[in-house]
Amino acid sequence: MNDKFFKLPEERQMQIINSALKVFSKSGYYQTSTLEIAREAGISKGLLFYYFKNKKEMYLFLYEHCINLVLDQINRNRNVEEKDFFEILLRSQRIKCKLMKKYRYIYEFIVKVYMENDQDVIGDIAGFAEPLIKENYRHFFERIDTTKFREGVDISLLFQSLQWCAEGFMRSALSSDKDIDEIDLEFAKVLELYKQNFYKEEFLCTTMNTEKGKTTQ
């Protein structure tokens, strides 16, 4: 917990966080300058170092803060009764899109962290992220109804493929400056395409709608 930083007014916190997310997501850890972050946030470099003693501390704070934000929203909005593979993924993606309306660069930053190879931070990233990822992975596969899939489908590989697809899709969509709601609707169509190809026919009577939060019967 960064007590100094969290004593700031929320608006000021948001300004600094979003500025840092923007700069780190574009340049990565090594290439990012704290001076550039300070300028983007409209504060002095000295004041930035008052809240964070160095770039590494700020970077890891941002990463843990972003992951905790995502997990908190997932837990708050989790439908424990939902067992459909694609509906769970759609709900998770929509939570990310909702967060992006407040933290525009949060998804780009998280993806950038996954690709990070700087030895100064990768150990800390893995130590924090891997247990959370494994736990979420376990909970996800405990929930889903695997009987809906066609015979021979490697569900674990499908899940990983969709993660890669989501990362590439989101990077492409964000680089084109698309509206967040437009991104949401387009990804829903991507999931529907996968669903049509991997679910048994009897489970295709209910399809995901391109309108947010709706299904068609």
Between residues 178 and 90, which one has the greater pLDDT?
Answer: 90
4-47 confidence digits (pLDDT tens): 899 999 999 999 999 999 999 988 899 999 999 999 999 999 99
Separation CA 6–CA 74 (nearest Å):
23
Instruction: Using the predicted structure, report yes or no on whether residue 208 has a pLDDT greater than 60.
Output: no
Q: Identify which of 27, 20, 10 has the alpha carbon closest to the alpha carbon of residue 66.
A: 20
- Taking each helix axis as running N to C, give the angle between helix 155-175 and helix 122-143, from 0 to 180 degrees, rounded to the nearest 10: 120
pLDDT at 80: 80
- Which of 111, 154, 163 lies closest to 136, judged by CA? 163
What is the rounded end-to-end Cα distance, in angstroms, of the chain?
47
pTM of the model: 0.81
Residues 47-98 have pLDDT tens digits of 999 999 999 999 999 999 999 898 888 888 878 889 999 999 998 888 888 8
Confidence band for 209, pLDDT divided at 50, 70 and 90: low
pLDDT value at position 111? 84
Q: What pLDDT shows up at residue 46? A: 94
Give the pLDDT confidence score for residue 198 in this predicted structure: 96
Q: Where are the domains of the chain?
A: 61-216
Q: pLDDT tens, 109-166?
A: 988 898 898 999 999 998 888 888 788 888 889 999 999 999 999 999 999 899 888 8
Beta strand segments in the chain, E: 207-208, 215-216
Q: Tell me the C-alpha distance between 81 and 174, whole Å.
A: 32
Number of H helices, E strands in the chain: 10, 2
pLDDT at 1 over 70: no
Instruction: Give the pLDDT band of residue 211 (cuts 50, 70, 90).
Output: low
